[in-house]
């Protein structure tokens, strides 16, 4: 981040917490790759995809509005609204998957996933609470708390996955670890949050109406965004089987480390600082975007080249010969990973300036292009690796457009602010 002082220290703190968590996850991955088979990772990847997609929209994106109100009481009310909505969606989806689980498993061509689908709503609820408390912490610039939860979440996940992997066969340990890790991360954010004060029902109705565009526009956009991220796993499971989905899911687990480590840290601080600058009428928005773009772009180039050059020989050496196919898939994802790292953190710009229509349009286009790339590859008789290459190229193009939209938003907002009456010239 370009800003000095608290923002820079916040980015470093979040990156440190995320780095420790990701290093733990990477360090145990060679063990997990020997405790669980590619098919086990395939089942887990499908469950994880459903949980992440549902967790994105369980609160109808009200949690994204928590940093925006000027008054803390209004922000606290937004959080309560998000929690109430999450409870409702969790109950509804639990009932739906209890009834429709066999149908979903048949559509995916993966009958083994059926017993695990009923756990998706609970894991998704933990993910959503995790995000709500994190947004509250970011609003108050409690960057150390965010850093701590990143580490706690990763540690809880891998601890359960290893312990259960040593005692049980199948994907159950992987699924349980995901849920425990998200719950542990959420619990770590409660200390010092200051959320004990009650909120009047009238205020809940007021903020629900004020931010009604979030469920109306950002919820569909968030759903499409999450589906766009996880649709490759679901496509590979349905078109090529759980083993190819497992290779790809494991690949994503490793490849997304730089995106998570750098991208998430920058995105969270960027969101906090950009929203603060907009609320206070400051003029730092363009500088924030420009410098973050330069640094993220450089990191994206380095990360993408590393995957293209070294992923294929390193994967079987580190994780075992059963994962050679994952190395080839990681190489294919080098293109999209570079663009994702450069553009994804800056997409928070559209949220801060409430450009919900642009975000929704981009998410629709990304989903269509990514899903279409995978489907066309399968229809032409290409193997799973060729499908991953097609998906990666389509994703890279979409992230380039995302960066362009964010840049246009910042430049337009800066121009409007400079033209406003009373602005110094």
pLDDT digit string, tens, across residues 48-104: 999 999 999 999 999 888 888 888 888 889 999 999 999 999 999 999 999 998 999
Name the pTM for this structure: 0.77
pLDDT along the chain (425 residues), means of 10: 54 67 82 92 93 92 86 87 94 93 87 90 92 84 72 87 87 92 84 70 86 83 83 91 92 79 69 69 73 83 90 92 93 92 84 78 90 93 94 94 90 70 51
Question: What is the structure's pLDDT at 393?
Answer: 95
Question: What is the structure's pLDDT at 192?
Answer: 63
- Residue 351 burial (10 A CB sphere; 0-12, 13-18, 19+): buried
Q: Residue 214 has which token pair?
A: 């979030």
**How far apart, in whole angstroms, are the C-alpha atoms of residue 383 and residue 166?**
33
Helix or strand holding residue 15 (H, E): helix 6-35
Question: What is the structure's pLDDT at 3?
Answer: 47
Question: What is the structure's pLDDT at 187?
Answer: 84
The answer to whether 97 and 104 are in contact (CB under 8 A) is yes
Question: What is the structure's pLDDT at 377?
Answer: 94
Question: What is the structure's pLDDT at 38?
Answer: 92
Residue linked to tokens 């290779």:
247
pLDDT, tens digit, for every residue of 350-363? 877 778 788 788 88
DSSP-assigned states of every residue in 197-244? S---HHHHHHHHHHTTHIIIIIHHHHHHHHHHHHHHHHHHHHHH-HHH
Question: What is the structure's pLDDT at 201?
Answer: 82
**How far apart, in whole angstroms, are the C-alpha atoms of residue 70 and residue 20?**
34
Listed in sequence order, the residues at least 6 apart from 248 whose beta carbon sits closer than 8 Å to its beta carbon are 45, 232, 233, 236, 326, 329, 384, 388
């Amino acid at each position: 981040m370009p800003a000095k002082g608290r923002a820079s220290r916040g980015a470093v703190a979040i990156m440190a917490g995320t780095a420790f968590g990701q290093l733990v996850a990477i360090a145990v991955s060679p063990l997990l790759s020997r405790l669980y088979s590619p098919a086990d990772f395939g089942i887990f990847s499908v469950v994880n995809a459903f949980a992440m997609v549902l967790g994105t929209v369980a609160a109808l994106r009200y949690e994204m509005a928590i940093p925006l109100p000027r008054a803390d009481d209004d922000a606290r009310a937004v959080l309560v609204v998000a929690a109430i909505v999450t409870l409702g969606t969790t109950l509804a989806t639990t009932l739906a998957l209890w009834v429709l689980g066999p149908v979903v498993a048949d559509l995916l061509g993966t009958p083994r996933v059926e017993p695990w689908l009923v756990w998706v709503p609970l894991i998704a609820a933990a993910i959503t609470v995790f995000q709500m408390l994190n947004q509250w912490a970011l609003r108050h610039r409690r960057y150390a708390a965010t850093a701590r939860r990143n580490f706690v979440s990763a540690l809880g996940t891998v601890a359960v996955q290893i312990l259960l992997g040593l005692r049980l066969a199948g994907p159950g340990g992987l699924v349980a670890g995901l849920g425990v890790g998200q719950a542990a991360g959420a619990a770590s954010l409660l200390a010092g949050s200051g959320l004990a004060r009650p909120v009047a029902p009238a205020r809940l109705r007021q903020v629900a109406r004020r931010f009604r565009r979030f469920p109306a526009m950002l919820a569909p956009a968030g759903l499409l965004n999450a589906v766009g991220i996880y649709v490759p796993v679901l496509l590979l499971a349905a078109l090529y089987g759980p083993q190819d989905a497992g290779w790809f899911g494991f690949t994503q687990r490793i490849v997304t480390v730089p995106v998570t480590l750098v991208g998430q840290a920058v995105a969270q601080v960027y969101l906090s600082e950009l929203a603060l600058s907009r609320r206070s009428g400051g003029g730092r928005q363009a500088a924030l975007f420009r410098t973050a773009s330069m640094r993220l772009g450089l990191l994206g180039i380095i990360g993408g080249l590393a995957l293209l050059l070294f992923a294929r020989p390193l994967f079987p050496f580190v994780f075992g010969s059963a994962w050679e196919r994952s190395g080839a898939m990681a190489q294919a994802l080098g293109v999209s990973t570079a663009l994702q790292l450069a553009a994804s953190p800056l997409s928070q710009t559209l949220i801060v300036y409430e450009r919900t229509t642009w975000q929704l349009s981009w998410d629709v286009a990304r989903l269509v292009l990514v899903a279409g790339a995978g489907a066309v590859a399968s229809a032409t008789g290409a193997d799973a690796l060729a499908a991953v290459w097609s998906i990666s190229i389509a994703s890279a193009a979409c992230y380039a457009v995302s960066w362009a939209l964010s840049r246009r938003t910042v430049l337009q907002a800066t121009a409007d602010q400079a033209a406003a009456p009373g602005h110094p010239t």
